[in-house]
Structure 1
Amino acid sequence: MLPWIQLDSAAIPGDGGDLRLKQRGAEFSIMLGATELMNSRLKGSEEALATLSWERIKGRSNPTMLIGGLGMGFTLRAALGSLPQDARITVAELVPAVVEWARGPMADIHQGSLDDPRVDIHIGDVGALIRSHTRHYDAILLDVDNGPDGLTRASNDSLYDMAGLNAAKAALRPKGVLAVWSSAPDAAFTRRLRQIGFSAEDVSVRANGKRGGARHTLWFATNT
C-alpha cells in the first residue's frame, strides 16, 4: 500500500491547531491532529447537504446561497450541479490555505468550481458574514468543524448557539433554509432550532452516498 505523504500544513485562526493536507496516490486527506476531518473518497453527505437544500428552495429566481466551509469542494460542486445559472453562491472559508489547496494539489477534485461565474470566495469567518446580512440568503449551508459539537475552534460554537441561530434566521429570506452538516445526531441542537422558530428536520445520510459508509446527520431548518 502506498504511504501517506504530507503536502502542507496551515494554522487555523484562533489557536485552533494546524490542518495537515496529506496524499496517498489519488486520495487526499485533511487532518487535525490524529483526527481526519475530510477524505476525498467520502463525499456523499457533503453532496446531499447541497442537493437536499436545493430541493427545499427550488423554483426561486436568482437564488442566493452561502456555504460555510470549502473543504474539498464537494458541497460546492453539488450546488453548482443543481442551482440555475442565475444563482449566486458565496463560499466562506476561514483558512486561506484550504483555497490554495483547491487551486493547487487538489485542483482535479475541485474541477474548476472556484472559477464558476456564479461563485464568490470569501476568506474569513462565516459567522461574521451571516451577522452582516439581513434577509439576504435563500439558503445557508454550514459544514463547519464537526457540526454543532465542534472540534477545531471553540468560537465555532457561536454558530450553533441561540445567538448564532438567531443571526442565521435573520440572514435568511422568508422560507429560506439553514442546512447543517454533522458527524453525529444532536437532539439538543434540534430543540434549539425549534425554539428559535425554525421548522426543523434531521436527516440521516451515508458518508459515501449509495455506497454506504458511516452515518452523518443533516439538519434542514426552514425560516417560517
Structure 2
Amino acid sequence: MSLLFEELDSQDSPLGEISLRKRRIPALGDRDIYEVKLGDEFLMSSMFVDAEEALSTLGLAQVEGDKLNVVVGGLGLGYTAVAALADERIAELLVVDAIETVIHWHQQEMVPLGKVLNADPRNRYVLGSFFDLATAPETGFDPQHAGKKFDAILLDIDHSPTEYLNPANAGFYTTANLTLMAEQLVEDGVFAMWSQNPPEDDFSALLSTVFDTVESHLISFDNPFQGGVATNSVYVCKRPIR
C-alpha cells in the first residue's frame, strides 16, 4: 500500500459502511490528513476544522458562569469536543454519537485527538442518537442522570438544516422538537449548530420560534482543492430566562 494513503478501518454502521483513512499530500506539507467516509461520501477531513472549532468557541462565548455541563452532538474527528475542553470552565462534556465505530476510533486512539479526549477526565462518550435523546427531556442526554440540564448543546451532525446525514433526522428541525431539546438547557443556556452552507434565513426564523436570540456566523477557511477560500456557518442561540 502506498505510504501516501492508508485505510485504517472500515466497518458497517446503521447508516452504511463507514471508513477512516489517512493520507499525505506532499504539496500541502509534511502532515497526516485524516478523513472519514460514509459509503462513497466524504464526511469530514482534518484539513478543514475551523468551523468545527468555531462551533465550540462561538457557542461557549455566549455561556455565562463556570462549572459548565456541555453536550456535543457528533464526535467526528474530535475537533469540536477538544475545542470545548479548551474552555477551563467546562466541568463535564458529554460527546454523543450514534455510530459505535466512531467512538471506538477515539477510545483506541486511532485518530490523533482520541488521546487528548481520553486523557481529559471531563470528557465522556455517550453512544446513542442525538436526535432521540434531544427530544426526550424526561430522560435526556446523560444515561447516568435522567433529566439533567446543560449549559450548552453544540450540534454538528447533519450537513445543514436541510441536508441530512440520515433522512430520519429531518423531523428534528421543527419548533416542537427544538423546544423539547431546549428544555434540557438551563435558564439562559445556549444551543449552537454547524452547517456547511451559508446562513439560511428560513432556519434562523425557525430558531427564533424557540430561542430569544439567534445569531449566525460565516466561517471562512482556506481550501487548496478549490484554489481559494471556502465557508461554513455556525448558528448560536440563547434560551431566554424563564
- What TM-score bracket applies, with the shorter chain setting the length? 0.7 to 0.9
Identity of aligned residues (%): 28
Tell me, in whole angstroms, the C-alpha distance in 2 between the residues paired with 1:187 and 1:83.
34
When structure 1 is superposed on structure 2, of 186-195 and 65-74 the one drifting more is 186-195
Deviation at 1:120, TM superposition (A): 1.4
Structure 1 gaps of 5+ residues are none
Partner secondary structure for residue 9 of structure 2? strand
User: Relative contact order: is structure 1 or structure 2 higher (C-alpha 8 Å, sep ≥ 6)?
Assistant: 1
Partner secondary structure for residue 45 of structure 1? helix
What is the 5 A alignment of 1:179-198?
179-185=192-198, 186-198=200-212
2:21 is aligned to: 22
TM-score normalised per structure 2: 0.81
1:214 is aligned to: 230
Flag the 1:158–1:9 CA change in 2: closer, same or farther, 3 A.
Answer: farther
Tell me, in whole angstroms, the C-alpha distance in 2 between the residues paired with 1:31 and 1:54.
29
1:159-182 CA-to-partner distances (Å, cap 9, x unmatched) read 322232111211111111110000
Contact 1:147 1:180 in 2 (8 A): no
Contact 1:135 1:170 in 2 (8 A): no
What is the 5 A alignment of 1:1-224?
3-13=4-14, 16-25=15-24, 26-58=32-64, 60-84=65-89, 87-104=91-108, 106-130=110-134, 131=136, 132-133=139-140, 136-185=149-198, 186-207=200-221, 213-224=229-240
Q: Hey, which of these two has a bigger chunk of helix by percent?
A: 1
Flag the 1:196–1:97 CA change in 2: closer, same or farther, 3 A.
Answer: same
Structure 2 gaps of 5+ residues are 25-31, 141-146
Partner secondary structure for residue 101 of structure 2? helix
TM-score normalised per structure 1: 0.87
Say which one has the larger Rg. 2
2:28 is aligned to: none
